[in-house]
Amino acid sequence: MLVILKNDWKRLMEEKLYLFVSMGLTICAVVAAIVLTSSIETKGNIALILPQNQEISDSVTQFTKSQYFNVSILEMAPSKSELVQNRYDAIVTIDGNGAYSIETIKSDQIKTMIYATLENPNTFVPNMQSSRKIGTNIIGYMMMFLLIQGVLYAKLFADDKEKHLIERVIMSPIAFRKYLFGHAVFMIAMIAIPTFCVMTVAQILGVSIGFSLLTYGLLIGVLAILATSFALFLNSFFCVADTANMLGSSSVLLSTILAGSFYSFAKEESLFDKLIHILPQKDFIDFTNALEKGNLTSTIKLELLYVIGLSVVFFAIAVIKTRRDYIYHQ
């Protein structure tokens, strides 16, 4: 196994440009995740249209100072494309008599909510239950890139298959289990170490990252294990690196978005919501969320176990599949 590790390292050092660029991009992605999450404001954006020299009533003044809304006062109504792009959630127009009208492309629920706020700005409290904290957001943004990284570093294994090196490996006394495990350890290290370093730097620089470094280490470790085993699993089915690569990155992208790692889509308990729990990303993000809010229940711990279990299953399938492909059975 150590031989494999050493060999992998030597092979990557041969392609220094590749190594540096992929490391650089990992670092970029993680930095982007931190920057994005720390600068995101999840207030509602409202455009308030006031004709010039218009007296502002008390409730409207209080409304503009509301801590739940980001109210910008404009003279001209913003164009509709800005509404579509979510720049503003709603446009509130106040005419000469002090009466107001609300225009939004969103659901009626939001309309009634804004009406309620305009009527009595002080008593209005939205339900903030669903919102996530910093740590979960950072993990959510990072997740997709880490999983794609897994597909990226599986290149060494794919190369072995594509260039028929693996047939020579079979002739050597090493067991398949150990051979794949060696690759896996190498990949996990390559994914987790740069990410963790960026986190450490962020911590030292005093950026608020939500969790302690130790927790981050563990979470990143689990993600790296999942990414690695998924990539090996996928590569064991294809002999061409490109096919595995394209299929891998597109399926990672789809499933990660579906799991709501960027923002949570599913709001109410539905059958669909439960089905999504099949995706390990969903379980992982749920676990992170619960961990940050401090309400770990036994079901949520089971979800983490599911993620790890699934990685083990992926790895086992990869071993069995490659063994079946390359060892002659009677």
Contact mark string toward another protein, 165..204, x via CB under 8 A: ----------------------------------------
- Residue 250 touches another protein, criterion: CB under 8 A: yes
- Residue 93 touches another protein, criterion: CB under 8 A: no
How far does Cα 191 stand from its chain's mean position?
A: 15
In this chain, which of 165, 253, 302, 320 binds another protein, going by CB under 8 A? 253
Specify the pairing of strand 44-49 against strand 69-74: parallel
In this chain, which of 7, 59, 62, 70 binds another protein, going by CB under 8 A? 70
In this chain, which of 71, 100, 138, 155 binds another protein, going by CB under 8 A? 155
Give the residue with the Cβ less far from another protein, 27 or 218.
27
In this chain, which of 60, 148, 187, 220 binds another protein, going by CB under 8 A? 148
> What whole-number distance in Å separates Cα of residue 293 and Cα of residue 295?
6
CB of 162 to another protein, least distance (A): 7
Contact mark string toward another protein, 212..241, x via CB under 8 A: ----------------------------xx
> What whole-number distance in Å separates Cα of residue 225 and Cα of residue 178?
16
Residue in this structure with the two tokens 């503009």, named with its chain if needed: 64
For 23, counting Cβ atoms within 10 Å of its Cβ (0-12 exposed, 13-18 middle, 19+ buried), the class is middle
- Residue 13 touches another protein, criterion: CB under 8 A: no
Judged by CB under 8 A, the number of residues near another protein is 63
CB of 241 to another protein, least distance (A): 6
- Residue 146 touches another protein, criterion: CB under 8 A: no
Give the residue with the Cβ less far from another protein, 3 or 28.
28
CB of 297 to another protein, least distance (A): 26
In this chain, which of 34, 47, 60, 83 binds another protein, going by CB under 8 A? 83
In this chain, which of 66, 104, 200, 203 binds another protein, going by CB under 8 A? 104
- Residue 17 touches another protein, criterion: CB under 8 A: yes
> What whole-number distance in Å separates Cα of residue 124 and Cα of residue 115?
10
- Residue 245 touches another protein, criterion: CB under 8 A: yes
Label each residue of the chain as H, E or C: CHHHHHHHHHHHHHCHHHHHHHHHHHHHHHHHHHHHHHHCCCCEEEEEECCCCCCCCHHHHHHHCCCCEEEEEECCCCCHHHHHCCCCCEEEEECCCCCEEEECCCCHHHHHHHHHHHHCCCCCCCCCCCCCCHHHHHHHHHHHHHHHHHHHHCHHHHHHHHCCHHHHHHHCCCCHHHHHHHHHHHHHHHHHHHHHHHHHHHHHHCCCCCCCHHHHHHHHHHHHHHHHHHHHHHHCCCCCHHHHHHHHHHHHHHHHHHCCCCCCCCCCCCHHHHHHHHCHHHHHHHHHHHHHHCCCCHHHHHHHHHHHHHHHHHHHHHHHHHHHHHCCCC
- Residue 313 touches another protein, criterion: CB under 8 A: no
In this chain, which of 23, 27, 257, 300 binds another protein, going by CB under 8 A? 257
Give the residue with the Cβ less far from another protein, 68 or 181.
68
CB of 292 to another protein, least distance (A): 20
CB count in 10 Å sphere of residue 77: 14
Give the residue with the Cβ less far from another protein, 176 or 281.
281
Q: In the complex, which residues of this chain contact another protein (CB under 8 A)? A: 15, 17-18, 21-22, 25, 28-29, 32, 35-36, 39-45, 70, 79-89, 104-108, 141, 144-145, 148, 151-152, 155, 158, 162, 240-243, 245-247, 249-250, 253-254, 257-258, 260, 262-263, 265-267
